Structure 1
Amino acid sequence: MDLNPDTPLHWIDAPVLLRLGVAALLGLLLGFDREMKGHSAGLRTHGIVCFSAALMTVSAIALYNQLDTGQTRMDPLRIFEGSGAFVGIIAAGLIVVSKGQVHNITTAVHLWLATVVGIACGAGQWPLVMVAVLVAIIMLTILSMAERRWIKPLEHHRREEADNGGS
């Protein structure tokens, strides 16, 4: 059986550790919001998903650079296909419909975001990583506060009016 040559341990260098370490930390950060709100996919799930996506990306890039001879049809971008399919399976398991209400859709999408952030970390696309995490934090924290302050009371008021016959 033909295998690629082993990668010596001394090749684990600072850029690889940085990519994987940042992915793990950002995954934990992304999962913090879900954990604080008591959702099913929290710190550990987001951390592992983000780290795993980064690890797959680093491995795919390294294998591509190691094995590509110009005569093969290797495509390192297939990492997106595999990651998307895997996270889709996890997300589908999280989403629950109960009494006509859909639950955990934000958590499922958040896991997808953690995967994409992990891929970007693994590829060393630092500006993209920073923008993605900043937008995610804004959307999950600031918009959540705005929703609690303005949207939920408005929905509650509308429900009360409907219960009272519109008066």
Structure 2
Amino acid sequence: MSNWEIIFATTINEFSDLSDVEEATRVTLRLLFAAMLGGVLGFEREHQGKAAGLRTHMLVCLGSCLFVVAADMSGAMDDAMSRVVQGIIQGIGFLCAGTIIKGEHLSNVRGLTTAAGIWFTAAIGVAVGLGKEATALVSTGLALIVLHILPLLFQRTDKTDH
């Protein structure tokens, strides 16, 4: 076998994790769905003028999904998958802590909703990665209600109280 044949065979072997069409389709659909759901939440946040918008939410959801899908493809047992999810939660917690800004007074804290939204977006990515797409879709809808509809209801209440 020539060096080029060895290089070619090694390259093919290195990219063999999606060797059958069914698995490749499943992984692709999960990653695309995670990116879409993260994008829906990110679009809402960006529309509200928040710093963590479309790209941030898409990447958080996509990354969380990828960690779970990759662990699942490697045959991770329940305990190992639990550790993967715990790692995602810790990593996202660190990212979220960076979005919270505390002013001089305790009442002057900003970024809590952004942090919670990023954390929740990661949870949606985990759900998609685990193959719980319907749960992820319902969760995304509920998050949109919390982020977009509830503030509108409170604005109307405030206007009628004055």
**TM-score, scaled to structure 1:** 0.78
* Matched letter for residue 125 of structure 1: K
Match of residue 92 from structure 1:
97
Deviations 1:24-70 (A, max 9, x none): 011111111211111121100000000000000000111125xx6xx
- The answer to whether structure 1 residue 128 and structure 2 residue 115 are counterparts is no
Q: How many percent identity over aligned positions?
A: 34
Corresponding residue for residue 58 of structure 2: 47
Which residue does the alignment assign to 2:3?
none
Provide structure 2 residue ranges, at least 5 long, that are not aligned to the other structure: 1-12
In the alignment, the residues of structure 2 paired with residue 10 and residue 64 of structure 1 have an alpha-carbon distance, to the nearest angstrom, of 15
Q: How does 1:111-122 map to 2 (within 5 A)?
A: 111-122=118-129
Structure 1 partner of 2:37: 26
TM (norm. structure 2) is: 0.81
Match of 2:86 in 1: 81
Q: Report the count of equivalent residues.
A: 145
Q: How many Å separate the matches in 2 of 1:89 and 1:24?
A: 21
Q: Is the 8 A contact 1:30 1:137 kept in 2?
A: yes
RMSD: 2.1
1:105 aligns with 2:116: no
2:151 is matched with which residue: 144, 149, 152?
Answer: 144
Contact 2:37 2:137 survives alignment (8 Å): no
Amino acid at match of 2:25: A
Per-residue CA distance 1:120-167 (angstroms, 9 max, x = gap): 11111122112211111111111021122224775xx5xxxxxxxxxx
Structure 1 gap ranges (5+): 158-167
CA distance in 2: counterparts of 1:151 and 1:103, whole angstroms: 21
Rounded Cα–Cα distance in structure 1 between residues aligned with 2:142 and 2:71: 27
